[in-house]
Structure 1
Amino acid sequence: MSEYKYGDRTYKLTNGNYDVELPNEIKQPETVFKYYGKTDYSIDAIIKNYLFCSHPYHLNDSIDSSSLLWDFTNLPKAVFEKFYTQYGFDKVMVIDYEKEKAHGFVTIKQKFFEMASKNAGVISLTTNSLQTLMWAHYSTESGFMIELDWKEIKNNLKGLNPKLNNYAFFPIQYVDKLETIDFFGNGFNSPDIPYLYSTAVKRKDWSYEDEWRLMTYTMDYGVPNSIRGPFQDIPSHHDRKVFYPKDAIKSIVLGKHFFNGSNLKKVIDDKTYQLKKGSDLDFVDFLEQNYNDRIYFCGEYQNGTEFKRSAEKVHFKKVNTDTIQMIRENKVYV
């Protein structure tokens, strides 16, 4: 067993299984939420019931899950040379130990990072359903949010994803100051625990997200190096997707600007819309046929001197092939 305690959490690798040991007062949530911008990729994810397993290079916080959090100061020369030759880097590059040490072992660290990150996926979820900044940052108000039953997902992870080796599900540990993990001074014999740690800590600036993170592990998700610059990607042999059962979706909340000039041909009345042909119309048809009993519409209301968010339950009624009514059910959660 390999483990690392930081704050009130312990990051573990036991018999090839990853885990984050939490304080007793932190319980796994019954439901989690996922925000989406309205893109073809997002719509495809809902229609096919999967979550995209991001690489750190896909994330919006540049130091999230970053190897910058790995301290290689105590890397012994013998370990350096063994790694250098064992993986054949001596055949494609010349690296001097002392020069590499003076530069923070940046080249070798990158290779370790690629080894760890190519087999792992990051899925960002939240327990916060009506947070204004989340709606603004991740759905731009014109997207949508889904509520997911975590137990349904967990019970079907292995069955629906046979190539999934293991996973870890934990809340982000928000800290005042990010600290590095001593990669070689803690007796780690692989990058697994340092990588798990680096995926689980974020600055308190991000605490409004109330993020729970699902880490998935399989072989050869690949590394999208070209996101960083003119670098060669490490090819993927498995899609970065984790599938869940249809019934795991408990609700779908449409953003307050979901219907807008990009998808509307005509507003017939307050809640009757004629849509342009395209992916949005197809998506509305899909929702009407598959999730019409669990659709909500996001809005804001005034409560005294305050403005607050709400989600009003609605359902769609097809008028004709391109026109729908959004029927209010007079049920609101805030």
Structure 2
Amino acid sequence: MKKFIIKRLLELIPVLFIITFVVFVLVYHAGDPVSLMLPEDASQEDREYMRESLGLNDPFIVQYANFVMDITRGNFGTSTRYDMDALPLVIERLPATFELAGAAMLVALAISIPLGIWSANRRNSYVDLFITGGSVLGKAMPNFWLGIMLILLLAVNYQAFPVSGRGTFMHLVLPAITLGTSVAAEMTRLVRSSMLDTLGQDYIRTASSKGVPYVKVVVYHAFRNTLIPVITITTLQLSILVSGAIITESVFQWPGLGMLLVQAVNARDMAVVQASVFIIAILVILINLITDLIYFIIDPRIKHS
């Protein structure tokens, strides 16, 4: 276990360097930050002085090295829009994003597990075709379109839920459904295929032939053995939810990291953009690491290998 963790942590070092390089290059070519920080009527001398003080006249490799050193100290610069350090501003928005991602994952699990099991037990029936077709439709349906339709139907026409914002459970329902639908579609097909593989095993037929109730066979024998791929896809989809909530947060004006990133891009607030992208990348890496650890614990084959 210890060697496994050390190996995974060592593998993260080059990944982090690649992330820092990509973030720096994108921002480096995004435009002149001095033009954003100074008024339009600023003199050329003032512009050159600020460029020199910020180190923007240094060679590319020197600027990148300074950028990496600043990141190790948690310094991503100052937000030009909010006039405060970028990193605390980003961290302040994380709880809202975690709340939305967790709720969306609960919605996805509540939909995908029952439908996946039901579809596997009704293979090639009309129920199976309906669930499979619905999962394909849910995967192809854009989140922003579904969010707008839910707002028009349930928030505007029937006024059952708030249109936007955060604060109560009712504010969370529509964004969670919007974000969790595509994940539920993906997980439903995985649960179905895993259940079909498990239901065809010899021990399932043996349990059925011994007179064990079919519901017990499905729940206690078949489904328990499909948990490994389900847990894996759940943790991997959670990283997608955290990093992919940008559109949903923008549609519902959910004050999370995604909406902050969109606002920072529109305002060309590069310090916040850098901090947001870096934090999102770190979260995805940590979630993938946790996934590997869970897989290592529940699958004895990995321990023996």
Q: TM-score, normalised by structure 2?
A: 0.23
- Whichever structure has more strand as a proportion of its residues is 1
- Whichever structure has more helix as a proportion of its residues is 2
Q: TM-score, normalised by structure 1?
A: 0.22
Work out which of the two has the higher radius of gyration on C-alpha atoms and give 1 or 2: 2
Q: Greater relative contact order (Cα 8 A, min sep 6): structure 1 or 2?
A: 2
